[in-house]
Every structure is written in C-alpha cells, then in structure tokens.
Amino acid sequence: MANQSFENKRIKDLVDSSWRVIPPFWPLKNLIAANPLIGFEGQPFEHALTQAQVLFQTADLSLAMQDVNRESLKWLQAYFDDGQSTLMLPGRYDGFLSSILALMLFDSALPNRSILANLPSDPVDIINDCLRLMTVPDRDHELLLTLMLTTLSGWSSHILYRTDWAPSGQNLGISKTEFTAFRLVLMRLFDVNAADLVHRYQETIKNANGVMSYKTIQHNEHQYQSALFEKLSLKCFEQLKHTSSASAQFVFCIDVRSEPFRRNLESVGAYETLGFAGFFGVPISVYQIDSGETYESCPVLVKADHTVRDHSKKSLIAKELRELYQSTKYMFTTSFPLVETLGFWSGLMMAINTFSPKLAYWVDKKNEPKPDLEFQFDIPLDQQVNYGLATLRSMGLVTNFAPLVFFCGHRGESQNNALATSLDCGACGGRPGRINSFVLARILNNPEVRSRLKDHGISIPEETYFVAAEHNTTTDDLVLIDLNIPEHHLQLVAHIQDDLKKVQYLTSDARLIQLGESSSHAISPYKRSQDWSQPRPEWALAKNASFIIAPRSVTKSLDLEGRAFLHSYDWQTDGDSAILTSIMTAPLIVGYWINTQYLFSTLDPVAYGAGSKVTKNIAGKLGITQGNLSDLMHGLPLQSIGLDYDNPYHEPVRLTVVVYAPKSMVESVVARNEQLKTLVHNQWFYVFAMDPETHEIEEIMGDPAARGRK
C-alpha cells in the first residue's frame, strides 16, 4: 500500500512538472496575450529560444504520432465545442476522460480497441500502466509526458487555461492528469514508439541553435533603445506637476494605441492626458442581462471582487431573431434553406459593408444598445474609497483637478473577425473597458466618497465632474458613455467634442499611412472597421517596444510612434515604493505578455502565431485552425504582425522599461520581487532607471553581482 501511494505521488509530480513549459490560451470570446514561452522564464532568454525551438517549432513527427494527433483533435473539438455544433457530445457532463473513453469503444476506426476495455478508472493508474508498458527509462518519463503536450501545444495550452485560469464553473470537467492519460492511451492504441519520440528530441536538441534569431532581436533592440534614449535625454523637462490651466483631463489605458491619440489631443487644446491600466483599478465582473453571460473585466492576474449588472440590450424581437438565425445557421438540416431565404438580404448587407462603410457604421450605431448600468452597491463605501484613492494616487492625479475628467476605456471594432477580442482591452480581460470607466466615474462622483477622500489629502473641487468615455481604436472615435453631465458643463463638452473630431482625423490619417493607404480626410475612418472582407482592421499593438513609467511631462510632445505603453507615475508621492511595486508587478507584466506574444508570433507565425486569416477555420468557437484538422493556433495571425510571411510589420524586440525615479528605488523594487528579479536577470525584458535630477539613464540588473553593466 505504501509503495502504491509513493508511485501515485511520483506520477502526479511527473504530470505537474511536464506542464511547466505550457502557456495558457484563452478562447476567442476573450483573447488574452500571454508569453508562449512562459514556462522557460527561469532560464536565460537566449537559452529559452533554443529549448522552445525544439519543443514547439519542430514538426517532424512519425506517422503513428500524427494519427494520435488527428484522433486527439477529433475528440477535443467535439468535447469542448462552445455552441458551434447544435449537437452536444453524449456523456459530456460525466467528465472528460470517462465520457471520451466510453465513446471510443464504439469507434470502429480505432485500432487496438480491446485495450480500452481493460483500462483502470483512475487517470493516475492509466498513466502509470502506460508508462510501464512503454520502453522508456524512468529518467525520461517526465520528458515523454512533456512531449505529449508540446506535440499538440495549442490544445494543451487551452486545457491549461481550463484547469488553471478559467473562471469558476468553466473547467468543463477536465484535469491536467486526465488530458495526459488521454494522450497516452491514444499512443497505445496507435502503437507509437515512445522511445523513438524521446530519442528524436534528444538528437534534435544537440544541434538546435537559436543564435540567429537572438542576434536579430538584439540588433533591433539596440537601434530602438538608442533612438528612444536620445529622445528622452534631449527633452526639455517641465516641472513635474499637473497644470491647473487644463480645461479637461483624459485618463487613457496604457495601451500603445493611446499614445498617438493622446499626443494629438494635447496639440489641439488645453488638455492634459494620463495613463493607467484600462480597468481603472476596479476589479469587477459584468453580468449581461441581454445574453445572461458573466465575464470578468479586469486583468487575469487580478480577482474580480464585485459584480455590475449591464442592462444594455436590444429589443426582445431583435434578440429572438438573432438567436433563431444562429441556431438555424449551425443546424446541418436547415443551413441550406437559410441561404435561400436570407441570401438576398445578406448579400445586400455585404455590399453596404464593402462599398459604403460609413452607411454601414451609421446603421450599426442606430441599433447599438445604449449603456444602462445598474451599479451594484455590494461594493461597500470603504472599498469604493479605496479604489478611488488607489487609482488617483497611482496615476499621480491628486491635485489640480480640471472641471472635467474623462476615464477613457477602449475597444476595437471589426466585422467578420474571429479574433476581434484581440483588439479589445487586455487589462479588462480581453473585453471593452467602457463599464470599468463608468464604474470609476460613478464612484468618484459620489459625494460620500469625495468627503472620505479629503481625509486622505485629496480634495476634489465641487465643480469637477468625472465622465466615462470609450476610445474606439479602429476608428479613433472617442464617445461619451455618461449622458448625465451637469448642465453647466455642456458648453465645454460641446467644444471638447469638436476637438475630438479633429483628433480623430489627425490620428486616423497617420494610422492609414501605416496600414498602406494614402492619408486623406476623404478616406472614411470607418472603412476598415466595417469591411467584412478586411483581414487587417488595424495594426493593434504591433511594433510595441517600450513601457514608460513616468509623469506625462517626461514624454509630452515626443513622437513615440505608437510603440510605448505609457503609465503615469510620480515617484515623489510614493515614499514606500508601494505604487511602483504595484505598477511593475501587474500592468508591466500584462505589457510584457503582450510584447512577447507579438515577438514570438513574428519569429514564427505558425508555431507561435495563428497562421493566415485567409486559410483559417474556427474550431468550436474556441480558437482557429489551419485547414480542416490542425492544432489550435494560439498566437497572433499573420495579418496582425505583417503584410506577409516575408514582410513583417512588427519588429521583434523585448520590452524596454524606463522608470522615471532614482535608480536605488527601482533597484529595490526589482530586488524585493522574485518574479521581477528572475525576468530582469534572465533578460526577458530590460529595466532602466531615469534619474529625476541628472536625467541619466542606467540599466537595472536582476542579479546584484551584475550591476556594473550599463
């Protein structure tokens, strides 16, 4: 009995260790950027490139192993289907392994089915039996289990999301142990030579060399950092304080797409802009009355503590028609009559979207639900005060409030785009940020909250009003969400809206040039957002390269080319470094994940990306595949990082972090946090401190012994 217990623990430890190299992959409805090499962060970046090259970029599999993958895909797509199919897999609610093994008994195409009748019921016992029957030494068992995952890395990544990252109730009855057992059973059924699989890896790793990719990355980084540091060093710095003459203040997400919009906004009027993570410090879940869905609108590293009920909805008739259309579309017996019935109207809408995008945009907006939030006061007053206090302090907005302060959430907009949520706000869990902006504005307009903030030294003038807004990053619209603005501010609002229209054209003109179109106000900024055949509605966060933590005065008027995450921060109000620590351990990590997703998707658009949108298919509404039966593609599509495989738009670089604060302060924050220390020491991103007095820029090293490097 003691031996059995020991063996079970050994198997569980092997399984846990084998999953360490797998990154999580979120479903299409809320795509989140994640470092595809997250499991290698404990290694130097250069070494990780080589390791990952062998595990993820090698497609040389035996025919038997290819059969295992094809069979895996068949069952996984059926089990995890999220509404694309109108028929549910029988026994799905019994759990993954038990339901799949039971159904496999009836699959006449499977070889060696007699094996299934004699399998143990416990997945740990199944793994143990399979390993015992394979001619692989004990020392290579962990490697074999790892290869079971990396040879189907897309689905393995989605399983990790289900087991470790999905909201409560969305696990769908699977564990990492069950998935590993499932893959090993298939290996036995198709008589895979496990020893040969291990041997191939061991031979390949001997000759692997990621030096060329590493040198290219280093070259790009050197050029970018030289240009950035020159811009920052030549800047004539102003006093680090908010100007009391600002007629309005705008708080944008740190997203790189905000940088050119902010620069243009500041150029057309007396406006001050700030940067903060787009969930605006309120970790909420949103319950949509219309769909019945609940989702978390906050970073995946943060737990949602409160729920907001979103009453935004279209008419009941429109909702029922939409549901009828969807069910008819996916039912195999009714899809052809649907085309015959609605073909003319679908063709008409396609023509409008193609030839008159502005009209299509107007029609869409006329039918778009207006925000109608029922703010849940399950958030105690003390907690509301804490959220408001933390957010205002973190961005350094504690004095000199303008008459109007806008919190600008953001979203993308596109048609016929399976990867649409990749254009939304990563800080809001791959969702639009308008509700978070609405909630924080409601909190800070609350007289009781303002009264309590005075006790903490923050006096918000009575005439100051906080307004929720939303920045559409595809059309460069900035629209107001809050329609209850006090009457004495309406004239100022009208003036601001006129200026916002100017900013829209300034920003979209520059963006259209980057997208390969001529700059002209005659080109509708809505064109790409409404064209149903457009594979590239915007460049999104392509070319992201730096993360600057500083007051706006450090970067104001500098053209940072839409490549910088900008987080407002005043080191002089952060005596214990708590604010800097929170920025570097949350928003910075989100920016780092985004940066690595773009970097690796550019290095290999197939192994780390999603291939081309042109040849994609959708698997169970969860992810995309290439062809009719491929692994889930779990990165960015080719159209998000370049014009084609040979002409990338994104420049693969690691993130350059610049903190405007004393070097000793930044060093202490890095040294006190193990994750930061590891990432900086292993050069997954660079951290530089910009001295507030001398403006000298020096690199922070994760390893104190290496501090001499500059």
The residue-averaged pLDDT of 288-316 equals 81
The residue-averaged pLDDT of 79-107 equals 91
pLDDT of residue 315: 46
Q: How confident is the model at residue 531 (pLDDT cuts 50, 70, 90)?
A: confident
Work out the burial of residue 184: count CB atoms within 10 Å of its CB; fewer than 13 is exposed, 13-18 middle, 19 or more buried.
buried
Average pLDDT over the chain, rounded to an integer: 90
Q: Is the pLDDT of residue 319 over 80?
A: no
On whether the CB atoms of residues 547 and 569 are closer than 8 A, the answer is no
Work out the burial of residue 353: count CB atoms within 10 Å of its CB; fewer than 13 is exposed, 13-18 middle, 19 or more buried.
buried
On whether the CB atoms of residues 334 and 340 are closer than 8 A, the answer is no
Q: Which residues of 601-631 are buried (b: 16+ CB within 10 A; e: fewer)?
A: bbbbbbbbbbbbbeebeebbbbbbbbeeebb
Residue 195's nearest CA partner among 129, 125, 127, 143 is 143
Q: How many CB atoms lie within 10 A of CB 121?
A: 9
Q: How confident is the model at residue 352 (pLDDT cuts 50, 70, 90)?
A: confident
Q: Which residues pair with 284 in a beta bridge?
A: 297, 306
pLDDT of residue 373: 56
pLDDT of residue 709: 40
pLDDT of residue 374: 58
Q: Is the pLDDT of residue 516 over 90?
A: no
Task: For 389-402, write each residue's pLDDT tens digit.
Answer: 999 999 999 999 99
pLDDT of residue 369: 53
218 to each of 223, 224, 605, 656, how far by Cα in Å? 9, 10, 20, 12
pLDDT of residue 323: 60
386: tokens are 């804490």
CA distance 585 to 670: 9
Q: How confident is the model at residue 331 (pLDDT cuts 50, 70, 90)?
A: low
Q: Checking DSSP bridges between strand 623-626 and strand 616-619, what pairing results, if any?
A: antiparallel
CA distance 408 to 479: 9
Q: Could you give the percent of the chain with pLDDT greater than 70?
A: 88
Task: For 275-298, write each residue's pLDDT tens digit.
Answer: 999 999 999 999 887 777 899 999
The residue-averaged pLDDT of 43-53 equals 94
Q: Checking DSSP bridges between strand 306-310 and strand 373-374, what pairing results, if any?
A: antiparallel
- What's the DSSP call for residue 125? H
Q: Which are the contacts of 230, defined by CB distance < 8 A and separation ≥ 6?
A: none
| More reliable by pLDDT, 84 or 186 | 186
Residue 280's nearest CA partner among 387, 411, 375, 403 is 387
On whether the CB atoms of residues 621 and 27 are closer than 8 A, the answer is yes
Q: Is the pLDDT of residue 339 over 70?
A: no
pLDDT of residue 365: 63
Q: Which are the contacts of 592, defined by CB distance < 8 A and separation ≥ 6?
A: 35, 547, 655, 679, 684, 685
Q: How confident is the model at residue 379 (pLDDT cuts 50, 70, 90)?
A: confident
Instruction: Put residue 611 in one of left, alpha, beta given phi > 0 → left and psi -120 to 50 → alpha.
Output: left
CA distance 616 to 652: 24
Lowest-confidence segment of 104-113, 222-231, 284-293, 696-705 by average pLDDT:
696-705
Q: How many CB atoms lie within 10 A of CB 656?
A: 22
On whether the CB atoms of residues 263 and 557 are closer than 8 A, the answer is yes
Q: How confident is the model at residue 527 (pLDDT cuts 50, 70, 90)?
A: confident
The residue-averaged pLDDT of 26-39 equals 96
The residue-averaged pLDDT of 59-74 equals 94
Q: How many CB atoms lie within 10 A of CB 319?
A: 13
Lowest-confidence segment of 439-443, 581-585, 698-702 by average pLDDT:
698-702
Q: Is the pLDDT of residue 376 over 70?
A: no
Q: Is the pLDDT of residue 362 over 90?
A: no
Task: For 556-601, write each residue's pLDDT tens digit.
Answer: 999 999 999 999 999 999 999 999 999 999 999 999 999 999 999 9
pLDDT of residue 242: 46
CA distance 139 to 143: 8
CA distance 3 to 388: 56
Determine the residue type at 693.
Answer: E
Predicted structure pTM score: 0.93
DSSP 475-493: TTEEEES-----GGGHHHH
Q: Which residues pair with 698 in a beta bridge?
A: 689
Determine which helix (DSSP H) or strand (DSSP E) holds 216, and give its type and residue range. Answer: helix 211-234
Q: Count the residues in the chain.
A: 710
pLDDT of residue 710: 37
Task: For 227-274, write each residue's pLDDT tens digit.
Answer: 999 999 887 554 444 455 799 999 999 999 999 999 999 999 999 999
pLDDT of residue 299: 94
615 to each of 73, 410, 642, how far by Cα in Å? 18, 29, 16
Residue 276's nearest CA partner among 408, 444, 418 is 408
Task: For 642-679, write each residue's pLDDT tens digit.
Answer: 988 888 999 999 999 999 999 999 999 999 999 999 99
The residue-averaged pLDDT of 631-651 equals 93
On whether the CB atoms of residues 198 and 144 are closer than 8 A, the answer is yes
Q: Is the pLDDT of residue 130 over 90?
A: yes
CA distance 153 to 159: 10
Lowest-confidence segment of 308-322, 516-530, 549-563 by average pLDDT:
308-322
End-to-end CA distance of the chain: 59
Q: Is the pLDDT of residue 126 over 70?
A: yes
Determine which helix (DSSP H) or strand (DSSP E) holds 275, and give its type and residue range. Answer: strand 271-275
- What's the DSSP call for residue 431? B
CA distance 651 to 220: 7
CA distance 680 to 193: 41
- What's the DSSP call for residue 631? P
